[in-house]
Amino acid sequence: MTASQSPTTAEELRGVGLRVTAARVALLETVRRGDHLGVEAIASGVRERVGHVSLQAVYEGLHALAATGLVRRIEPPGSPARFEGRVGDNHHHLVCRSCGVLADVDCAVGHAPCLTASDHRGFAVDEAEVIYWGLCPDCSTPAVPEHRDH
């Protein structure tokens, strides 16, 4: 592999010490092609590519991928876990209080960890996780009443 080539999904899995299987390749690629997918949507995407795979196997695969840093688990309070392939850049998220849509937003200010704790209590802080809550454009725009002829 030359410096200009990106590693294949299989090479990335091997690089973090995971055994390469068709299901793991499909799992990682499904998460990366998706947009903050939940476990059911990921399982559906994997099944489209490799056939039957149990939900338990999907959970186990996602756990292994998240533990190695190849995917990121996001779990806003009150929401089911979602997964994304955008990792390593300390970005944050916007969450709609109404419909639950989730969107990426770049680091709050400056370089990671973006925010400085008022008292780090001796911790060597290297990451900050911020969730901005509000209403997405679709939910914050009042619905236009239908015009009815009487």
pLDDT digits (tens, 9 = 90+) for 79-137: 889 999 999 887 889 999 999 889 998 876 656 666 777 777 888 887 778 888 999 99
Is 139 part of any known ligand binding site?
Answer: yes
Question: Would residue 1 count as lying in a domain?
Answer: no
- Is residue 69 domain-shared with residue 93, that is, in the same domain? no
Question: Would residue 56 count as lying in a domain?
Answer: yes
Question: Would residue 2 count as lying in a domain?
Answer: no
Question: What total number of domains does the chain contain?
Answer: 2
Is 107 part of any known ligand binding site?
Answer: no
User: What CATH number did the domain enclosing 122 receive?
Assistant: 3.30.1490.190
- Output the pTM of the full model: 0.78
Is 99 part of any known ligand binding site?
Answer: yes
Is 136 part of any known ligand binding site?
Answer: yes
Question: Would residue 80 count as lying in a domain?
Answer: no
pLDDT beyond 90 at 10: yes
- Is residue 64 domain-shared with residue 26, that is, in the same domain? yes
State residue 44 phi and psi, 5-degree precision: -60, -45
- Is residue 95 domain-shared with residue 64, that is, in the same domain? no
Angle at 38 between CA 78 and CA 66, to 5 degrees: 95
Residue of higher predicted confidence among 144 and 61: 61
